Amino acid sequence: MKMKFFELIAKMKTSKKTAGFTMIELLIVIAILGILAVAVLSAINPVEQINRGRDTGSRSDAEQLISAIDRYNAFQGYYPWQNGSSDDAYEVAWITDWDGDGIFMNNDSTCEVKDLLGAGNDISCVGSNELKVTFFSRIHGAGYNYLKVYHGPNASDSTYVCFEPKSDAFKTEAATRVTAPAVTPADYPPLAIGNTTDCGTGGNCVCLP
């Protein structure tokens, strides 16, 4: 009877030892979980994802603005910064930070381009309603990644709308477009290349089209 009692005690001790984890095992598991967490966060990179979302929004706005300018030109026969079809001054050198302070006027300084593309402001500046007021409120807002408009001196030149890329993915895209073997269009905005002041640390703006 006494022998069976001691055997039972021994079995209980053995079962206690095998039922749980040792401190070393727990530390190893915690270390592995920590490594996995770091790897997942590195892969996801939340800051990069936020910046990429912001850049995607800027691209969408740039596409809308270019489309509005092209529609205005197709309907009116001239660009919104020109003073009519007889005005041969096509060039928009580089409208930097088209916000509330960087006002974009037409060539004779009578109307803002945003009024001509939008709802207008009075009889002298009749709007085409190509873009809503909310669009301009958004792109003029504080903290917005401001759009930059460029058009070369020739009638055949394309209209470009550019912005400073914030995400690594868009910085790479901007660099790829202007780096050999890519062929940069002859009418491409010169200030969109190697310009850290307007295009950020990468030096190259994302330009559409």
Contact 174, 199 (CB under 8 A): yes
Contact 29, 21 (CB under 8 A): yes
Residue-level pLDDT, tens digit, the chain, 209 residues: 545 544 544 555 555 555 567 888 777 878 788 777 676 665 667 888 889 999 999 999 999 999 999 999 999 999 999 988 888 889 888 876 565 555 788 777 788 888 889 888 766 788 899 998 888 888 877 778 888 999 999 999 999 999 999 999 999 999 999 988 888 999 999 999 999 988 998 899 999 99
Separation of alpha carbons 185 and 174, rounded Å: 14
- Three-class secondary structure of residue 160 per DSSP: strand
- Both tokens of 202, joined, read 């990468």
Kindly report, residue by residue over 153-193, the tens digit of the pLDDT. 999 999 999 999 999 999 999 999 998 888 899 999 999 99
Separation of alpha carbons 197 and 191, rounded Å: 10
Closest CA to 209 of 134, 153, 150: 150
Q: C-alpha angle with apex 144: 46 to 94, nearest 5 degrees?
A: 125
148 — alpha (psi -120 to 50), left (phi > 0) or beta?
beta
Contact 131, 145 (CB under 8 A): no
